[in-house]
Structure 1
Amino acid sequence: MQKILVARPIFPDVVERLKQYFEVDWNDGPALDSDELARRLADKDGAITVGDPIGAATLAQAPRLRVVANMAVGYNNFDMPAFNAAGVLATNTPDVLNEATADFGWALMMACSRRIAESEHWLRAGEWRAWRYDGFLGGDVYGATLGIIGMGRIGQALARRASGFAMRVVYHNRSRVAPEIEAALGAEYLSKEDLLRQADHVVLVLPYSAQSHHTIGAQELALMKPTATLTNIARGGIVDDAALFEALRDKRIAAAGLDVFEGEPNVHPGLLTVPNVVLTPHIASATESTRRAMANLAADNLIAALGVGPRAGQPPNPINPEVLGKARS
């Protein structure tokens, strides 16, 4: 029987499903450090990961490893040149989390604009004495301008939601989407700089890479309106969290909503001190149906890539399909 590692806690019934095909080593506890991950991968044919970093050194210590299935859309935790050089397949779980993530991004944006978390903390602290005409005045969402940076599947889902709020939608992407998609979404392509100058609410939904590192830094924050909000549901590192803290502290932008952070689960300490930020622990896809769909899709990828099950040899979501069917180097 082929051996696999499930490197993080996932739904037990998905693990039981995997046991129909494989000998399963399941880490149902805290995340493995790099040494322990490499040790447990050493005799494995495949693995399911949830953001665990895997590079050339780890792959070199796992000569039998043929596939690593990431239970996420993003795969910046994989050193893809190393995967390609070693002939190891990588897979991910796109599409199944689009709507849940877009819902959550919308919720964060609304919470920022209407100061929901800030006012709740104030109420819980016993500060509410009387109604005031100027109490926690926020910004409008209805009729405002939404700026989306990253017009992929989730960005498009956000743009669809904006139509119900009569928003103007502007976007920036590495390349323009097809004209028919722009027309269907009512979306206008802008340079990043023009988007930042014009948007009332900026939402980040782009993949992390060396090129997208600090897409939003001090220079970009300086372009935004002082009444604007920034929401990041993409990846930590896309925003310079230190620069964002300073902009929030100095009220150079109105508010921010962050589900992801540089170096998470660590959070820049300054962000914990300012009231005009909503912080959540990387839960944008956290509905039960969505997380189950992600776990099952990761299992589908692993089962098929290791040549068993109804889709043997045809995993649904290969990232580097060119290595399929080739012997490891």
Structure 2
Amino acid sequence: MTASLPLALQLCPLSPYLEQALGQRVAICRWFELDGAGQAAWLAAHAGDVRAVLTGGHIGCPADLMQALPALGLIAINGVGFDKVDLKLAAARGVLVGNTPDVLTDDVADLAVGLVIGLLRDLAGADAYVRAGHWGHRDWPLARKVSGRRFGIVGLGRIGAAIARRLEPFGPVSYCGTAPKDVAWAYHPDAATLAAHCDVLVVACAANAATQGLINADVLAALGPQGYLVNVARGSVVDEAALAQALAAGHIAGAALDVFADEPNVPDSLLACDNTFFTPHIASATVETRLAMADLVLANLDAFLAGRDLPARVV
């Protein structure tokens, strides 16, 4: 580590571009490469010097680690989600939290539409059918039409609104959230009511205490046996046990998930369901967006080191 540079903890792997640029600004400890004993020893020697934590939205910053760093001033998240950071603790400690909103909105919304089409048309199954040599030897079962469906968006923030705009040409859109917004789409007061009025329920809300397990058995029952669930928010928003049960029993028609509660672990009960379409949390995983996210992480870090307000500040 370079003594002349401020010290930072890196909690997860980042892109080579971002890691190289960070190395020019801060001295980095690759925290995720240390075992428990190594982390404890490192903290004993260096905890008082750490000025920044660099992390991903899927990891955040554990509260006990934040409390162990008396000089911490910034948690820089390479992602939009901040549900794994104790914001009240950060504010009380005077720790700034920055993320990378806006720049990943288009990609997440694009993937949501891709998941809708992939799920209803069973694109993964069609690919496997061709690769297995079944074409011409076994009939391919009919899928379901996308156009004309009713779409419900859970959470009409930046990403939810972008998804709604993309889906609107396919069919009518409605939404639920904490309050109605000045939009043309129909508003429903809660997820269960929304589910009862749509064919495809797309989850795009923030993950927090209020949305933990929001998509539960009651919501899935309201969605019904002809309904589909798509989640590009956080795995914690969906009750995965209830979802697996609903899928296995035919209480809903199918589900497409980019996120899971305990990534990278996917419950066996979900893997056993054929009426599913999974992707490995790749909503923002394009070259262009990951570059833009990295640049915003750097902009947040540069602002902090210069004593300016963060361009993308959560608290």
Q: Is TM > 0.5 for Structure 1 vs Structure 2?
A: yes
Contact 1:119 1:136 in 2 (8 A): no
Cα RMSD, aligned residues only: 2.1
Alignment of 1:66-215 (within 5 A): 66-130=73-137, 132=139, 135-165=140-170, 167-177=171-181, 179=182, 182-183=183-184, 187-191=185-189, 192-215=191-214
Gaps of 5+ in 1: 321-329
Contact 2:60 2:82 in 1 (8 A): no
Aligned to 1:222: 221
Secondary structure of the corresponding residue to residue 237 of structure 1 = helix
Aligned to 2:11: 7
State the AA in 1 paired with 2:150. T
Tell me: CA distance 1:225–1:147, structure 2 relative to 1, closer, same or farther (3 Å): same
Secondary structure of the corresponding residue to residue 256 of structure 1 = strand
Gaps of 5+ in 2: none
Tell me how far apart the structure 1 counterparts of residues 13 and 304 of structure 2 sit (CA, whole Å): 21
Higher relative contact order (CA 8 A, sep 6+): 1
Contact 1:55 1:83 in 2 (8 A): no
How far the C-alpha of 1:306 sits from its partner, in A, is 2.0
Tell me how far apart the structure 2 counterparts of residues 35 and 286 of structure 1 sit (CA, whole Å): 33
Aligned to 2:300: 301
Tell me how far apart the structure 2 counterparts of residues 299 and 33 of structure 1 sit (CA, whole Å): 27
Normalised by the length of structure 1, the TM-score is: 0.86
Contact 1:202 1:231 in 2 (8 A): yes
Tell me how far apart the structure 2 counterparts of residues 54 and 92 of structure 1 sit (CA, whole Å): 13
State the AA in 1 paired with 2:158. R
Aligned to 2:313: 318
The count of residues paired between Structure 1 and Structure 2 equals 305
Tell me: CA distance 1:252–1:32, structure 2 relative to 1, closer, same or farther (3 Å): farther
Tell me: CA distance 1:96–1:210, structure 2 relative to 1, closer, same or farther (3 Å): same
Secondary structure of the corresponding residue to residue 211 of structure 1 = helix
How far the C-alpha of 1:37 sits from its partner, in A, is 6.0
Tell me: CA distance 1:74–1:164, structure 2 relative to 1, closer, same or farther (3 Å): same
Tell me how far apart the structure 2 counterparts of residues 70 and 128 of structure 1 sit (CA, whole Å): 46
Tell me: CA distance 1:56–1:161, structure 2 relative to 1, closer, same or farther (3 Å): closer
Contact 1:208 1:238 in 2 (8 A): yes
Normalised by the length of structure 2, the TM-score is: 0.90
Tell me how far apart the structure 2 counterparts of residues 263 and 189 of structure 1 sit (CA, whole Å): 31
